[in-house]
Chains A and B, each alone.
Chain A
């Protein structure tokens, strides 16, 4: 009886092992699509081994398409046109594509498998994106859950970007994450300092990249970023500027203020920065310095609770309430907003109520 059981188990195990071996061998032959040619903008062509998704295939070729979710099909950022060879649209892409995008062959690069030759279109500005190897030279605590990371460029040694743009930071595999992922962060540094990228990062509990940055990244470590990306930027008009931000939304606004100072910009500017309590405000001294250095700049920190009025001069309430109370000539202003979707939606509603036209409101939403 016992022998019969042992034999039965051995037979079943052998069949299982045999099937697994067949699967591995089949995958090698059938999922190997061989060399595939990828033509970009009818100008450039390269050959890649098929089988991977288009996003990572392009990354291997040092062509970086923005993606905030690390290629999981959850951010909808890695859109590009695939004119030939992509196959039918996948259900995982549908929620991210408008009808006109579907009609013009826009696809999510992370969802398109390279199985045959492809003809694709990539915006020229993305072809200018580079990968930068950096060294982390300083980590500053800004608040209990926000840090500023100073990354000095090693190779290439300098970067050109437009204030308001962002880079993608590569998080390597580490103890709490088995895969490399990229996350997008706005550049906060002075754009005149082309050898440095500073990032302001807020800790997301359980976040793969922010956990790495807060608990594992040390001064002296090598860091890789690629970029720059994004079209959040200051216009070149003379309209008064209103900045509205909260938390790490400080980053692109700080960068723009450096740029305004560097270029002698004289636009009338007011910056409303919201926090819960005074100790959650950051870079206030730098903002006060900008008030002295820029010809017409006013910084308005806003906190929800102010238990000790002697702490610092702050507006009290929600940042949108402060804008509503304080902002003059809203109809003439251009507004630049950076923060959570909720904050941005509320700020847009307030600005419209005050008379700011839709086409004068620009924002960088945390989505």
Chain B
């Protein structure tokens, strides 16, 4: 299949480190389409959609923002913390979307398991079904996210 210039640019951008250190694809040898397909299939097996995931991620971030960088209780089993840094993160897809450098860290109180995501991750998950390539610092594992944010 022929690739549009936008698609070629996106592929290159996801592999490059122009937007984030180490790039969005990490050491994953698969194409980003394969990564998306595999992750969405995994989500379906778990009984969720990327939209549901993104909405819950956004909801948790919103609940944690008033904590001003400290841990806020989300429910009986989770606490979350939002940290902000200077600047913004740009979505690599060809639209002008940029997000505050805001990192949400969620901790399961019982297991002490932690996961974290940026506002850009939430957008990439919801809008593009993209969780990042294996080995990328920005990768969020669908199974881990589901386990941590949905299970009380």
Contacts and interface: CB of A to CB of B under 8 A. Distances in A.
B71 A68 contact: no
A342 B86 contact: no
Interface string B62-78: 00011111110000000
A183 B101 CA distance: 13
B86 A72 contact: no
Interface in A189-204: 202, 204
Nearest to B72: A304
Interface residues on A, range: 35 or more
B20 A343 contact: no
A176 B22 contact: yes
Contact of A205 (B16, B17, B90, B137): B137
A40 interface: no
Interface in A328-367: 339-343, 346, 366-367
Contacts of A210: 85
Interface residues on B, range: 20 to 34
A342 B82 contact: yes
Contact of A304 (B65, B71, B100, B116): B71
B101 A207 contact: yes
Interface string B1-24: 000000000000000111111110
A202 B118 CA distance: 16
A206 B120 CA distance: 12
Contacts of B103: 204-205
A206 B20 contact: yes
A207 B70 contact: no
Contact of A340 (B69, B88, B138): B69
A74 B88 contact: yes
B33 to A, nearest CB: 22
A177 B21 contact: yes
Contacts of A95: 96
A75 B98 CA distance: 9
Contacts of A366: 84-86, 101
Interface in A102-126: none
Contacts of A69: 87-88
Contacts of B18: 177-179
Interface string A80-91: 000000000001
B22 A92 contact: no
Nearest to A179: B18
Interface in A312-326: 318-320
A343 B65 CA distance: 9
10 shortest interchain CB distances as A-B pairs: A340-B84, A304-B70, A176-B21, A206-B137, A211-B21, A204-B85, A176-B22, A366-B86, A177-B17, A74-B98
9 contacts: A69-B87, A69-B88, A176-B23, A206-B20, A206-B21, A208-B17, A210-B85, A304-B71, A366-B84
Interface of B: 16-23, 65-71, 81-88, 90, 96, 98, 100-101, 103, 116, 118, 137-138
